[in-house]
Structure 1
Amino acid sequence: MSADRLKKLNATLAAGGLGALLVFGQPAVPARAADVTLAETGSTLLYPLFDIWATDYARTHAGVHVTTAGTGSGAGIEQALAGKVQIGASDAYMSDAQARHYPGIVNVPMAISALTVNYDIPGLAADTHLKLDGPTLAGIYAGKVRMWDDAEIAALNPGVTLPHQGIVPVHRVEGSGDTFVFTQYLTFSTPAWENDIGYGTTVAWPAVPGTVTATGNAGVLQAIRQTPYSVGYIGISLHDDIAKAGIGTAALKGYSGEFLLPTPETIAAAAASLGPRTPADERLTLVNAPGAGAYPLVNYEYAIVSTRQADPQTAAAIRRFLLWAIAPDEANEKYLDDAHFIALPAHIWVLSHDQIETIR
């Protein structure tokens, strides 16, 4: 984050009466807590960033150790609700039913991320960037669009030579926030998908012959790379691995009708469009956000945490760690850049801060 951006954010926070909480972007809390181990598990999209946070935090905050595991967003939510971990990482927010049943659990955005739709079509240059939209992807995953040269795909990609080969859909097998975001895109753009399938961390996928399932983002990437003519969805934190694998990335049709790639600018445009509508509990989808230049597969990355911890020492350690992780300073922005995430806008930072402060 540039000095000007940091100054602007701190000014925004100060205007809201929170300026004293930051000194060059850091929470005004003691650097050391008594010996505490915090367990985090969940999102494989968020895992690389949480792992970096945990490693660096242990290096600079003696006495606190954060364990991390990429088990899928569904497991992250479930284990946080069951009290088996202190932090459940998730690309999806808790459902309304879960929120009603567990009123002491908060959904805290830590960063803003995105999904990519990727494919392996032999002979098609990786930089071609096929254009795809929600109805076409819904048709592929419902088994109604079966060939790469199908009329629906060809109409979106005039001038591109498409092979007469069967499409192999790839999807996650475990409860996944990536599935939640991807199926929201299909639901919001395709009435038939909304009526028959819907969205969630798990869904009743249609039985399409040849479908491949995989665990985690790395598993989906491997499945696509090893399966000619396949297509799937992958968290953007694997951007560098996707590039190394040489597979294609689709330009997706957004709410405005533009076909867009996930870039810091298009992700930020989606967040800027819907961020002001974010409620106090921060459970809000950023998928298919309105506005020019808004990439459609964007989401908050959540820490799912109980506000009622076993003891004050653990609660204090969680608060300090989470506040440190979202602190708007240059070190944390580098972590976000490396994972291809973007930082929370100032007003969302305030909401996340306020939720973190309820952890006791």
Structure 2
Amino acid sequence: MFKPFAAAVGALVLLAACSSGEAPKTEAPASGGLTGAGSTFFAPLASKWAETFKGATASNVNYQSIGSGGGIKQIKAKTVDFGASDKPLSVEDLNAAGLYQFPVVMGGVVPVVNVPGVAAGKLNLTGQVLADIFMGKIKRWDDAALKALNPGLALPNLPITVVHRADGSGTTYLFTNYLAAVSAEWKSAVGASDALEWPTGLGGKGNEGVSAFVAQTTGSIGYVEFAYAVKTGAAYANLTNHDGQTVAPSAESFAAAAAGADWSKAPGNQLLLLDQPGAKSWPITGAVFVLVYKDQADAAKAKATLNFFDWAYTSGDAAAAELHYVPMPAEVKALIRAQWAKEITSGGQPVYVPAAK
């Protein structure tokens, strides 16, 4: 397991002020640039990486924030050079489609609310109470279950409006798998998927849509990737984690949840980071996965795609930290680079050649 990552959690703050000492690659861009699509969870960082990468290499990367389900469909249809999803595909699905997936960054899904008098980090929730709200069982903000968790908070006698994703979403996949893990009733009555029949609420498209609905609707609650909560100034809630500790969402609590992850023992790099043990762990933590074809028809495009993510692994950690994501540990980056050299080919030849040491 990559325990050195846990020890490096405190260094995350420094990442925002400095970047890796390794020099970024500056190879010529592929004709027409690169296109990617998918995860809205990943969109803020993808946009920042693309902007910085263009400045460093003159290469264009156009990323479409259409949701994880859309990203999976686009890469399977071969209309983009890479897809991005917060929902990892199973080994069976990867093999059937001829795809390979790898993690690029980690982050957290957080409940956000629009309740008069409730500021960010002041509302405490448990997984069970969160499930009861999204099932429509807890209908008002002054419900006894909410008051018991928040004795010092003045909760209004106001109806709760649930806001959920309307599109196929990796964020929803993480959120509903977490609810299924902590609530037997949610698991049996609603289930866990990237798209499902919601018991109640309004649907918004993308993290952007959910953020907008919550901002516009007094008494609402939704779930978004943490960068959206910070960007919009939304009032995020705290959660009780696996160890019974109430924790706030942060890069440090996401990193704590990921500290025990052993990617070397994850077939197809399929790994979830939900409800992880640890006193400081955020319970709804996940990775963003990039999807590419194993057998590439265009060697130049394939090489350019891996060059972009190689650059991101080398020089993108500071931007990730600034946007409240958690960079992949160095050991995982080395593991993935070795996989690239083995898994991704064009005309029977490797597309990626690791840098000489």
Q: TM-score range by the shorter chain?
A: 0.7 to 0.9
CA distance in 1, matches of 2:120, 2:26: 49
The answer as to 2:276 corresponding to 1:289 is yes
Paired residues in the alignment total 327
Distance 1:34 1:241 in 2: 33
Provide Cα deviations, 1:91-140, integer angstroms capped at 9, x if missing partner: 221145523422x2112111111111110111x23145211111111111
- 1:342 aligns with 326
Give the distance between the partners of 1:351 and 1:129, measured in 2 at CA. 40
Q: What whole-Å deviation, never above 9, does each CA across 1:234-274 have from its counterpart, x for those lacking one?
A: 1112243232xxx4211011111111111121111001023
State which of 256, 275, 279 in structure 1 corresponds to 2:243: 256
Partner of 1:56: 52
1:214 maps to a residue whose letter is G
How does 1:239-254 map onto structure 2 within 5 Å? 239-243=229-233, 247-254=234-241
Query: 1:65 and 1:128, CA in 2 relative to 1: closer, same or farther beyond 3 A?
Result: closer
CA distance in 1 between counterparts of 2:121 and 2:259 reads 28
Aligned equivalents of 1:338 and 1:205: distance in 2? 34
CA 1:278–1:344 in structure 2 vs 1: closer, same or farther (change >3 Å)? farther
Contact 1:108 1:303 in 2 (8 A): yes
Counterpart residue number, 1:172: 165
Tell whether the 8 Å contact from 1:41 to 1:75 is kept in structure 2 after alignment: yes
Aligned ranges for residues 196-211 of structure 1 at < 5 Å?
196-206=189-199, 208=200, 211=201
Distance in 2, matches of 1:233 and 1:86, equals: 29
**1:120 maps to 2:102:** no
Matched-pair contact (CA < 8 Å) for 1:77–1:94:
no
Partner of 2:203: 213
Per the TM alignment, residue 200 of structure 1 is displaced from its structure 2 partner at its CA by 1.5
Alignment of 1:1-360 (within 5 A): 24-26=21-23, 31-62=27-58, 64-95=59-90, 97-102=92-97, 104-122=98-116, 124-127=117-120, 129-206=122-199, 208=200, 211-243=201-233, 247-275=234-262, 279-327=266-314, 329=315, 332-357=316-341, 358-360=343-345
Deviation at 1:143, TM superposition (A): 1.3
Deviations 1:307-358 (A, max 9, x none): 222121112111211111111x4xx222112221111012221232233332
Question: 1:130 and 1:239 mapped to 2: Cα distance?
Answer: 14
Deviations 1:113-172 (A, max 9, x none): 1111110111x2314521111111111111111111222222222232222221100001
In the alignment, structure 2 segments of 5+ residues that lack a partner are: 9-19, 346-357
Counterpart code for 1:291: G
Counterpart of 2:12 in structure 1 is: none
| Alpha-carbon distance in 2 for matches of 1:36, 1:194 | 46
In structure 1, the gaps of 5 or more residues are 9-22
TM-score in terms of structure 2 length: 0.85
- Aligned CA RMSD, in angstroms, stands at 2.1
Partner SS state of residue 274, structure 1: coil
The TM-score, its normalising length taken from structure 1, stands at: 0.85
Give the C-alpha shift of residue 277 in structure 1. Answer: 6.8
The worse-fitting range, judged by mean Cα deviation, of 145-154 and 66-75 is 145-154
